[in-house]
A and B are shown apart, each in its own frame.
Chain A
Amino acid sequence: MSSAAQDISALVARARSLDKAAIAQLVTIFEDRRPAARELRAQVQTELEREPKQSPSVLIGITGSPGSGKSSLVARLAPTLLELDPELSLAVLAVDPSSTLSGGALLGDRTRMQESREQPRLYFRSQASDLELGGLGPHSFQVCRLLASLFDAVILETVGVGQSEADVQHLADRVYLVLSPLAGDEIQLLKAGIIEIPHAFIMNKCDEPTADRAHLQLRSSLWLARPFDAEKVPIYRTSARTGDGVPELAQALLETIRTTSGTTLTERTPYFFERWVREEWGRHGVEFLERECKGARQYLACHGGIDLAQLEFAADFIAFIGRGARRPQ
């Protein structure tokens, strides 16, 4: 084994025992945008697959508009989950938007998360959406797949601005939309495409006087938008300020974590691979993937995972274009 491979192997071993420094360094590798990092990720993946987790991790997406109080809610929720289930290990990935002007981002969610003492079963990481319009960043999938192979559950917290809810559903096993009763009109305006996605709604700031009205509004919107399951969609009421309703929500989440069989990596990857192909190689890249390579699922299966598939795809596609260029008229 080379020394780099030994390093990776040691890092993964430490990460398995939830050593935060090791996990943090692995996350950095999974966010690394240099092409060479793909090879490192493939190595990490191989190491991880040597001893896979007993049951797949459950990925919970928590999304909501800025000001809905989702960061404060997650800050309350995470310790409550750990308290209620003394075995659970949990990672939180909080995604915040980057400035379109400078590319930089202010990641302030951690201020709400402050724990006075070390919590060994909880890992919290901030991530910038990196020039995507809120929602998921290009690295969110990468980091989630890493965290999912280390923790029992992963909470992915994102700003909801339309498109991102659609992205989240491809990554998360369960999607929760946080709403604030102060944004009553916003509830009426929930676009049909969005209101259909969440598995449950969380009406935060339920100590506000307008909470009851907002709750009713949401119910009736659900009747219109999702007539077939409107009754079954849970609406939780919480207050991140007082903590009201948080234990109930946590209890329900734990139940979900216990009963949901997390989607395996193989099922999640094709969507994000195709998305990557579109971003890197455009419409022609996607056409090539569909027509010549029999689609993302097949291509991934042939190449042994996303890291190697990404490494190979460039060469394959460029070769294909080259052949096309040489083709006689």
Chain B
Amino acid sequence: MNTRPLPHQIQDASGDVVRDRPWIFRTYAGHSSARASNQLFRSNLEQGQTGLSIAFDLPTQCGYDSDDPIARPEVGKVGVPINSLDDFHVLFEGIPLEKMNTSMTINGTAMWLLALYVALARERGVSIDQLAGTTQNDLVKEYLARGTYIFPPQESLRIIAEMYEYCLDEIPKWNASNICSYHLQEAGATPVQELAFALANAVSLLDLLQARGRFDHEQFERAVGRISFFVNAGIRFVEEMCKMRAFSELWNEITRDRYGVQNERFRRFRYGVQVNSLGLTEGQPENNAWRILIETLGITLSRNARCRALQLPAWNEALSLPRPWDQQWSLRLQQILAYETDLLEYPDLFDGSPVVQSKVAELKQIARAEIERILELGGVIPAIESGYMKSALVKSMSERMSAINDGAQIVVGVNRWTEGLPSPLLAGDDGGVFKADPAAASETLENLARTRKARDPERVKRSLEQLKEAARKGTPMFEASVECALARVTTGEWANALREVFGEYRPPTGIDGQRLSLGGDRVEQLRARIASLTDTLGHRPRILVGKPGLDGHSNGAEVIAVSARHVGFDVIYSGIRLTADAIVRAAVEEDVDLIGASVLSGSHVELAHQIMTGLESSGAKGRIRVVFGGIIPKQDAEKLIQLGVDRIFTPSDYELMDIMESIVDVIEAAHA
């Protein structure tokens, strides 16, 4: 029946009226140990999930073995720990690699994890051209927001480029990297900043691939076709939908005009989504279910800008890591939307809408100007190194916090309609939050010890030398990494070998020159209290703000640092990725009155314990007070108080001046 379809129908190649196939359903998952995560993956696949999205723990992401001192508190907390190929065998047991679409949220160590995946395929006898999936491998947003970078920008970009060069013909269904703007929105980016920063990032990457000259034009076009994106979708869902349309149009224009890509297929904007977690609230957490639903509409309603793959956060993410049930509930939302509703029966609903057209045009125009500005600076790397992009993000975040604080931005249950009935979702035995298995780390450590013992030390040494030589000479490092994987080199050893050659990177913090726009009586009152506290102490109260552990989400800590200066504290910002020991040392050397530690990775109890013990052994316990901020469940908060922490701030403490007042209280009380 080869008739023309009606405008509300979709027709396939043979002329039949059809329904679209749904996007790929994913759940970001992985925790505790390779064994526990394998069980979780298998049960998720049985539940109707159609792809894997692997969460790795922070030591794996930052290139440390599980038994490294800085890694110990973090093992298995936010994802699965992977020390060697032996762990990968356990993780994928009973899962056919050749049938999987596997997405790995991995960046600084992306080349290593892909090498492990390739090595696993080889040992299983699976041909690697059958492997499909994505390594996230976007270092730009790591420097700006997420913090799991290891090497300096130039070297990181070289690693990414080498992975494109390897994958293009060897693993053609693999996305070597994924341009992420997701984390930029989590760090406060506006829709325009998300558009501009992500596209400027992609342009800088393609410019690099072109400059390296390893591809002819035909290969280069295919490489452009391998570029995929990972974006965020917030609660202003109409604007978000327009943002996605703007993304598609801009990408099509850039790849055509800047790179002369002829094949339309390679100019298509391919993207996956995780909807926004930043806006999820700790108070009245059941409301988050609606937020997640609405945010999902933004990236599914418009067929021309619909995502390829979707993973949803869980309603309780501001409280703790999600439990399997919480993730199942979110997966069901996707299934209902895709299979129960009629959404997938229609062509694009918004084509021709003057409202949408105008909004998209506006977003595109501002984004283009911003992209130009970044390219004028020399591309994303100079824009990072000069602190330009980071400062822009910290500024947006400070403005957002100011708007929520003074009520200009309404957040239901947070600054309006805050009185509600108790949530039955929190009433279960576990209080509605995830409980990590403390024994899981020991299993991982035992496996690591076993691997080290069983391997051939000569082969390990040889393969690491080859890797370093490739790194030094500028020759490809991927094959050398696969040989390391087969030799049972560990994650920490691989990363350390490259640290030796490339060095480690510390980016600008973005706090320089930042200020809050908050004013008013409360700020004045606090400044007066701090002035009188200065007279009491003989010095302006000094606090150290820092992030112990490996979690690199530094924006919260940075907003606190900027706020503290705003009310008159002297603030020593010690940055991210510090051992508890280093934080204590800095606090003692600077003789601060208080340490403010921010932890989002769930390892707050271990870290608080280490900090308090450190203060005790340097004779500073009591003199230096301690407060903690982060995603800290109630039960853990009590443990922290028992350890001697004075105050705990959680996402429900969004009011910056309340936090500042509380810190002044603590210091005052200590000197009363």
Contact = CB atoms under 8 A, between A and B. Distances in A.
Interface stretch (B405-413, B505-513, B628-636): B505-513
Nearest to B567: A102
Contact of A37 (B515, B538, B571, B588): B538
Interface in A58-106: 66, 98-99, 101-106
A34 interface: yes
Main secondary structure on A side of the interface with B: mixed
A21 B618 contact: yes
A110 B572 contact: yes
Nearest to B505: A241
A262 to B, nearest CB: 23
A285 B29 CA distance: 71
Contacts of B534: 33
A114 interface: yes
B290 to A, nearest CB: 38
Given A21-B588, A24-B591, A110-B574, A104 B566 contact: yes
Contacts of B535: 34
B464 interface: no
Nearest to A72: B506
Interface string A7-39: 000000000000011011101100111100100
Interface stretch (A118-126, A149-157, A290-298): A118-126
Nearest to B504: A116
Nearest to B573: A108
Given A21-B620, A28-B539, A34-B535, A105 B588 contact: no
A187 B591 CA distance: 38
B569 to A, nearest CB: 5
Contact of A106 (B527, B530, B538, B561): B561
B430 interface: no
Given A108-B573, A111-B506, A103 B527 contact: yes
Contact of A24 (B385, B530, B588): B588
Contact of B589 (A20, A37, A107, A108): A20
- Which one of A104, A105, A110, A115 has the greatest number of beta carbons of chain B within 10 Å? A104
Contact of A128 (B152, B570, B579): B570
Contacts of A283: none
B112 to A, nearest CB: 21
Contacts of A27: 591
Contact of A114 (B570, B575, B619): B575
A32 B539 contact: yes
A112 interface: yes
B595 to A, nearest CB: 13
B303 interface: no
B470 interface: no
A110 B527 contact: no
A104 B570 contact: yes
B471 to A, nearest CB: 16
A28 B591 contact: yes
A33 B538 contact: yes
A241 B570 CA distance: 28
Interface string B145-172: 0000000100000000000000000000
Contacts of A112: 506
Contacts of A173: none
A165 interface: no
Contacts of B575: 108, 110-111, 114
Contacts of A115: 582
Interface string B52-80: 00000000000000000000000000000
A110 B509 contact: no
A24 B565 contact: no
Contacts of A130: 540
A106 B573 contact: yes
Contacts of A98: 570
Contact of B564 (A104, A111, A124, A126): A104
Q: Give chain B's interface residue range (CB within 8 Å of chain A).
A: 35 or more
A105 B543 CA distance: 10
Nearest to B385: A241
Contact of A20 (B531, B569, B578, B588): B588
B586 interface: yes
B538 to A, nearest CB: 4
B506 A114 contact: yes
B512 A108 contact: yes
B566 A128 contact: no
B568 interface: yes
A125 B588 contact: no
Contact of A105 (B527, B571, B620): B571
Interface string B579-593: 100100110111100
A312 to B, nearest CB: 20
Contact of B509 (A102, A108, A125, A128): A108
Which among B511, B538, B575 has the highest number of chain A CB atoms within 10 Å?
Answer: B538
A20 to B, nearest CB: 5
Contacts of A106: 511-512, 561-562, 565, 571, 573
B380 to A, nearest CB: 17
B540 A104 contact: yes
Contacts of B574: 110-111, 114
A103 B540 contact: yes
A105 B571 CA distance: 6
Nearest to A29: B538
Nearest to B562: A106
Nearest to A109: B572
Nearest to B566: A102
A23 B579 CA distance: 22
A143 to B, nearest CB: 11
B325 to A, nearest CB: 41
Nearest to A116: B582
A310 B506 CA distance: 44
Nearest to A31: B539
Nearest to A66: B512
A84 B219 CA distance: 50
Counting chain A CB atoms within 10 Å of each CB, which of B534, B574, B578 scores highest?
Answer: B574
A102 B585 contact: no
Given A27-B591, A37-B538, A125-B590, A105 B566 contact: no
A66 B387 CA distance: 13
A21 B620 CA distance: 8
Interface in B254-292: none
A126 B539 CA distance: 13
A21 B619 contact: yes
B567 A104 contact: yes
B153 to A, nearest CB: 10
A123 B585 CA distance: 10
Contacts of A37: 538
Contacts of B588: 20-21, 24
A20 B585 contact: yes
Given A21-B619, A104-B564, A110 B591 contact: no
A126 B575 CA distance: 14
B652 to A, nearest CB: 26
B573 A107 contact: yes
Contacts of B152: 241
Given A106-B562, A108-B575, 15 more contacts: A28-B591, A31-B539, A66-B512, A103-B531, A104-B569, A105-B571, A106-B511, A106-B565, A107-B572, A108-B509, A111-B509, A114-B575, A124-B589, A126-B590, A130-B540
7 smallest A-B Cβ distances: which pairs?
A: A111-B575, A32-B538, A24-B591, A104-B565, A104-B568, A102-B568, A34-B538
14 contacts: A25-B591, A31-B539, A34-B535, A34-B538, A98-B570, A101-B515, A102-B527, A102-B568, A104-B564, A104-B567, A105-B565, A107-B573, A108-B511, A125-B590
